[in-house]
Structure 1
């Protein structure tokens, strides 16, 4: 790693969205809520003396309350900061939706300045709070010149992950985030981001022409009749099926899914969340090849939640249906 990657006087913008990293106890309620500002978060981190860090409060919400529209607004702010010449950008937010917001940002962001998402599993008032260390690691990654090559990144626990691969794998552990299919892109070592695995960026999706479309996820489960598929036509613009294994559903679901696929994009993902949906191995009714022959779209390696965001982004951008199907081929 060259010394340029750790050069002093680089500039980083920290955009604070709220989340556990910004939460402290309050007198009015039992439990923690988002109270800390971006400046508060930065002030709690030793080791930033050689980096010009500016903090901005963009939202102050728990991760569960963020919306797609919030992320569209965030991307506009990121691209403005990129045009202003900032060296890197860090986004702090709640971990409930971090893997999804980072992926949606990766779909839209067109700038060259690195964008790094981070958060915390323990609130600022907890013993062993992980927020300051995660924020420091995120800032150090955002100033790494090689980070420009990898798209939007997620940094927690000194691990650097690609937004498209990272998943939250535990409800409470400080080591909750991992990329189970690929492993991390790199690590922070002695304050330097070491990125070992190159990752080709996928072309961005156009920002929405319309309000984000309604797309829901319906999960297959043992003995389910598929009743949740009833009445979706006319209420949603697209559907993601979180199927068994490599892309299977109960045989009773097949007629409903075929009807829905005739009127809207229906994406076939796996509820497992790691590994690809197959295309031609099984041939029974409700198998992956059967469903794809009836008009469903294979999600590739995307889990159902990221497949939903990719579908939403293309629907909102007005992408023609054949091009939507092609977009999922980038994630095989």
Structure 2
């Protein structure tokens, strides 16, 4: 007799739990048990446990709630749970997945999914995504791969996945690389892995310092940057143009900020890493990095901001913060496990 794996399904809300029954537009109406009833195949895939944590549109989720989720998942895994599936709205799905990937140790699979169409819409994709996610969570190939996103039959690493379309059922893809695998004919096929680093420990939301995200645009001035310390910000991520560039007129403000708080340089381009030593003009990546700005690797601005926020909540500062940021920013390029002491 085959023993079914214990799989926890956590609901945070989102389109997958919304219908137009009570309003002219989509609003939250379905409880987690309602979602399970719409996917009867789940009962044959594992011993399903549930945790209805929230029922929010994903834009209203906070970092503290995802930290609470991570703590809860650690407890469930310690109690013998074999894996977890998190369902939520797609607007911030990539951010939840990345936070969980940063916070959770161990080999138990964690899969995040959702839906692009409301539950009562023709061709609603939520039930299929949920079943695929549970299949991946129960599959041995998923162990040790960190947090995954399963959407429209594809399996993505939390580090690389991005929402790339506002309406398409295939809205999520691994930017700059192929997906890790697919669910085909009820079978999980994994063709690639991803490097991992140690989980970030001792993260306390009570110590949260806001981290600003500044996207450079032609003609941008330094008024917002100059106000950040007075507004209580503890860090800054700059999404530079191209390989990581800003106008020369912003450099005095950036240099001043880098002397007071961690500043990270990402790119506003959807694909490709920040450059290191290609351009040397004022405002170039070489100028910014020489000012003490940290390199985001191939992390997008959203994920660089989340990583910096977690390190600040872990009371990392100075050289330790910079070292841990660099280790995780570049971890996905390595096919082996890295350890941070």
Q: TM-score range, shorter-chain basis? A: over 0.9
Between 1:243-252 and 1:270-279, the stretch displaced more is 270-279
Alpha carbons 1:149, 1:199 under 8 Å: kept: no
Aligned to 1:259: 256
Q: Is 1:131 paired with 2:113?
A: no
Q: What per-residue deviation string (whole Å, max 9, x for no partner) do you get for residues 280-320 of structure 1?
A: 11100000011110111111100000000000000010112
Q: Distance in 2 between matches of 1:34 and 1:257?
A: 42
Name structure 2 gaps, 5 residues minimum: 331-341
Alpha carbons 1:82, 1:112 under 8 Å: kept: no
Kindly state the Cα deviation for residue 229 of structure 1 after the two structures are TM-superposed. Answer: 1.1
* Aligned with residue 228 of structure 1, among 221, 224, 228: 224
Aligned to 1:74: 69
Q: Normalising to structure 1: TM-score of the pair?
A: 0.95
Alpha carbons 2:211, 2:234 under 8 Å: kept: yes
Q: Distance in 1 between matches of 2:97 and 2:202?
A: 15
Task: Say which SS state the counterpart of residue 106 (structure 1) adopts.
Answer: helix
* Aligned with residue 30 of structure 1, among 24, 30, 46: 24
Question: Over aligned residues, Cα RMSD in angstroms?
Answer: 1.3
Q: Is 1:239 paired with 2:236?
A: yes
Task: Say which SS state the counterpart of residue 167 (structure 1) adopts.
Answer: strand
Q: Distance in 1 between matches of 2:202 and 2:14?
A: 25
Q: Is 1:249 paired with 2:243?
A: no
Aligned to 1:43: 37
* Aligned with residue 91 of structure 1, among 86, 95, 100: 86
Kindly state the Cα deviation for residue 226 of structure 1 after the two structures are TM-superposed. Answer: 2.9
Q: Is 1:162 paired with 2:169?
A: no
Q: Distance in 2 between matches of 1:21 and 1:212?
A: 30
Alpha carbons 1:42, 1:55 under 8 Å: kept: no
Q: Distance in 2 between matches of 1:49 and 1:59?
A: 23
Aligned to 1:3: none
Aligned to 1:65: 60
Q: Distance in 2 between matches of 1:92 and 1:211?
A: 27
Q: Distance in 1 between matches of 2:78 and 2:264?
A: 36
Q: Distance in 1 between matches of 2:238 and 2:323?
A: 18
Q: What per-residue deviation string (whole Å, max 9, x for no partner) do you get for residues 70-104 of structure 1?
A: 00100011111101111210000000000001101
How many residues are matched? Answer: 325
Alpha carbons 2:58, 2:93 under 8 Å: kept: yes
Q: Distance in 2 between matches of 1:9 and 1:296?
A: 49
Q: Normalising to structure 2: TM-score of the pair?
A: 0.92
Spell out the pairing of 1:144-163 with structure 2 (5 A cutoff): 144-163=139-158
Q: Distance in 1 between matches of 2:296 and 2:71?
A: 27
Alpha carbons 1:68, 1:212 under 8 Å: kept: no
